[in-house]
Amino acid sequence: MKQFRMIAVLLILLNSYPLFSHPHVFIDNQLKVKMTTGKVQEVRIIWMFDAFFSSNIIMQFDRNRNKRFEPGEIESVRQGAFQNLKNFNYFTFIEINGQNRKVQSVRDFSASISGNRLIYEFTVVVNAPVRPGGKISIWIFDPTNYVAFGEPKAAQVTIMGKKPAGSKISIINNKYVISY
Amino acid sequence: MRFQKYFVILIVFIIFFTPVLLTGQLNSSGQSNPFASRPDGGTARQPEAGQPNFQKPTGFFKGIWLSFVKAQKAMNAYLSNKITEIKNNYSTISVIIILFISIAYGAFHALGPGHGKVIISSYILRENISIRQTVLLSAIVAVTHVFSALILGVIFGLISNLSIIENQETTRRFAMLLSGILIIIIGVYLTVRSIKHKECSCGEIQPDNKTPGWRLLLLGFSAGIVPCPVSLAIVIFGIYIQAFHFVLIAIIGISLGTAVTIFILAFLVIKIKKGALNITEKRSKKAARIQRYLEYASSGFIIFFGIFIALSFFH
């Protein structure tokens, strides 16, 4: 009876977390936030995939097996293994001064191979004004839990262009936060 | 006495909802590959305004589950590095390491939604199944789940002009449909059997003393037939780097690890079922009634889950 009670309690506790990642793909992230005076222009996002998933994409799209993607192959990758991410907001959720900025489109997509790993790079156009004392929050995550992104680290974010005075990059609740 | 009554109700409730809750929300089983292009363009899953972090991990055990994900990421990276390394620099110790890391990887991965845990748990709730049979059932699910991926991976890897991720998606959807239909058939069969038992035994429940082998096989097959995407990716990796034989070791390890997790969960469900029935053992009528509710509810749940899986074909 005691043993049964312990198991029941354990299961109740486990139930407190109804959904957790069931990842099949792992990605390491890097962000380059481009700013001009009083404005966030764009965010360049770089994803480095795990070697297993990478091999699937490389086998399918590196048709001439030269371990690099030519422009035609990059376009095939974009169409065949990237553009559907628009239905998932490109796993990118941006909030500026508390307001959501829906990712409408991305540009300058590029795919490359480094060792056994696949790399995607693309730019999210933000073009939003920022006021002094404001905050830019960027979440990179997959709501379906098919993809698990590496734990965010402040070092993965670089501010390009006109960096606001006193700006600070921190990680709060699994998101990158630039405050200034 | 009243407290005891509510406690029993609570236990039955936990028994039924634990498989679903423990293994994740229903909508996350049979996840589709978000990278794969859909002929219909797909459906946008934008977050609601002001709720960009929907479905983010919550709850008391968030930290533990997130560390499970981190552990899987680390094992994934370690395995790919080790398989690449061993290809050029063979050592028996590396083979053993690959096997053990794969077992751990499979065990952690199978903790996530899917992998037949809900079906098996529901089945165990209503049927008498021995520990030996539970081991066998867990093994059938794991082997079917992982080795269907192996066969698929070999086909994808060897036919060079095949669109891997699109075909993987198509195969997954058809496998879900087949799995769902088989599960519905099992659920309907069990319900009919329960009704017949009730009719012929004046309310006394007399479940089979032992689950027949064919039913274990069908149950395991239907629960595991959707190919494991992780194993599939590993097989294609093996073909890509020309280290297929080492990848086979990883696949065997993942299969073993998956079986272990499924077995542990099934074992817990057996214990809980016994516990719930023991609470009322002094009053056999109540125990019989609970057993009967368990039968009907779990058959219904199996049918419901089968329909849910089959419908994911259209998503």
Reported ipTM: 0.83
Average pLDDT, stretch B155-184? 84
| Residues in CB range of B283: below 8 A, 6 or more apart | none
Residues of A in Cβ contact (< 8 Å) with B74 = none
Asked if the C-beta of A56 comes within 8 angstroms of chain B's C-beta atoms, the answer is yes
Q: Are B258 and B109 in contact (CB under 8 A)?
A: yes
Q: Which residue would you say has higher pLDDT here, B9 or B197?
A: B197
Q: How far is CA B18 from CA A16, A20, A130, B222, in A?
A: 11, 15, 47, 21
Average pLDDT over residues B41-46: 58
List the strands of the sheet with A99-101, edge to edge: A99-101, A92-96, A135-140, A175-179, A168-172
User: What pLDDT was estimated at residue A143?
Assistant: 78
On the 0-12 / 13-18 / 19+ scale of CB atoms within 10 A, A63 is middle
Nearest CA in chain B to A104: B46
The better pLDDT of the pair B311, B315 is held by B311
- Are B236 and B159 spatial neighbours (Cβ–Cβ below 8 Å)? no
**Is residue B301 a contact partner of residue B121, using CB atoms and an 8 Å limit?**
no
- For B66-99, the pLDDT digits (tens) are 788 889 999 999 999 999 999 888 899 999 999 9
Set of chain A residues whose Cβ sits within 8 Å of the Cβ of B49: 100
Residues 120-179 of chain B whose Cβ lies under 8 A from any Cβ of chain A: 156-157, 162-166, 168
User: Are B53 and A139 a contacting pair at CB < 8 A?
Assistant: yes
Please name the residues in contact with A41: beta carbons below 8 A apart, sequence gap of 6 or more. A34, A35, A125, A126, A127, A161
Q: What are A4's two structure tokens? A: 């049964």
How far is residue A63 CA from its own chain's centroid? Answer: 27
Q: Which of B34, B109, B272 sits opposite A88 (nearest CB)?
A: B34
Res A12 pLDDT > 60: no
pLDDT surpassing 60 at residue B48: no
Alpha-carbon gap, residue B250 to B99, rounded angstroms: 6
Identify the DSSP state of B59. S
Residue A89 sits at φ, ψ, to 5 deg, of 60, 25
What tens digit of pLDDT does each residue of A146-156 get?
898 988 888 88
Q: Do B275 and A8 touch (CB under 8 A)?
A: yes
Q: What is the pLDDT of residues B256-299, one digit of tens each?
A: 999 999 898 888 888 877 777 776 665 666 667 777 777 777 78
A contact test, residue of B101, B118, B121, B237 with most A CBs within 10 A = B237
Window 119-158 of A, Cβ < 8 Å to B: 139, 141-148, 150-151
Using a CB-CB cut-off of 8 Å, the residues of chain B touching A141 are 53, 56
pLDDT over threshold 70, residue B50 = no
Q: Point out the residue among A56, A139, A142 whose CB comes nearest to the CB of B233.
A: A56
Contacts of B232 in chain A (CB under 8 A): 56
Residues 6+ apart with CB under 8 A from A18: B21, B24, B25, B59
Confidence of residue B28 (pLDDT cuts 50, 70, 90): very low
Q: What does pLDDT average to over chain B?
A: 78
pLDDT in tens, A127-148: 888 877 788 889 888 877 889 8
Residue B225 pLDDT: 87
Using the predicted structure, report yes or no on whether residue A30 has a pLDDT greater than 90: yes
> Would you give the distance in Å from CA A150 to the centre of its chain?
9
Alpha carbon of A117: minimum distance to chain B alpha carbons (Å): 10
Q: For residue B111, give the DSSP letter.
A: T
Q: Is A8 in contact with B11 (Cβ distance < 8 A)? A: yes
Percentage, residues of chain B above pLDDT 70: 74
Cβ of A51 within 8 Å of Cβ of B84? The answer is yes
Look at residue B12 and tell me whether its pLDDT is greater than 80: no
More confidently predicted of A100 and B209: A100
Question: Is residue A99 within 8 Å of residue A131, measured between CB atoms?
Answer: no
From CA B163, how far away is CA B151, in angstroms rounded? 16
Nearest CB among B14, B68, B237 relative to A12 is that of: B14
> What tens digit of pLDDT does each residue of A71-116 get?
999 999 999 999 999 988 899 988 888 788 888 789 999 999 999 9
Cβ count within 10 A of residue B130:
12
Is residue A14 predicted with pLDDT exceeding 70? no
B53 confidence band (pLDDT: 50, 70, 90):
very low
User: Chain A, 60-79: which have a CB under 8 Å from a chain B CB?
Assistant: 60, 79
User: A108-130 pLDDT, tens per residue?
Assistant: 999 999 999 999 999 999 888 88
Q: Is any Cβ of chain B less than 8 angstroms from the Cβ of A109?
A: no
Which of A67-76, B184-193, B236-245 shows the lowest per-residue confidence on average (mean pLDDT)? B184-193
Option in A7, A15, A58 nearest B271 (CB): A7
Bigger pLDDT: A44 vs B20: A44
| Alpha-carbon dihedral sign for residues A7, A10, A15, A20 | negative
Q: Is there a contact between A144 and B34 if contact means CB atoms under 8 Å apart?
A: yes
So what's the pLDDT on residue B307? 86
Parallel, antiparallel, or unpaired: how do β-strands A99-101 and A147-149 relate? unpaired
Cα gap B266→B219, rounded to integer Å: 14
Q: What's the mean pLDDT in B107-119?
A: 78
A162–chain B nearest CA distance, Å: 27
What is the rounded distance in angstroms from the CA atom of residue B235 to the CA atom of residue B254?
12
- B239 in reach of chain A (CB within 8 A): yes
Residue with the bigger pLDDT between B307 and A6: it is B307
- Contact residues on chain A for B109, CB-CB shorter than 8 A: 22
Nearest chain A Cα distance for residue B273, angstroms? 9
How many CB atoms sit inside 10 A of residue B283's CB?
Answer: 11
pLDDT at A20 over 80: no
pLDDT in the model for residue B293: 75
Is the pLDDT at A157 greater than 50? The verdict is yes
The pLDDT of residue A101 is: 81
Reported pTM: 0.82
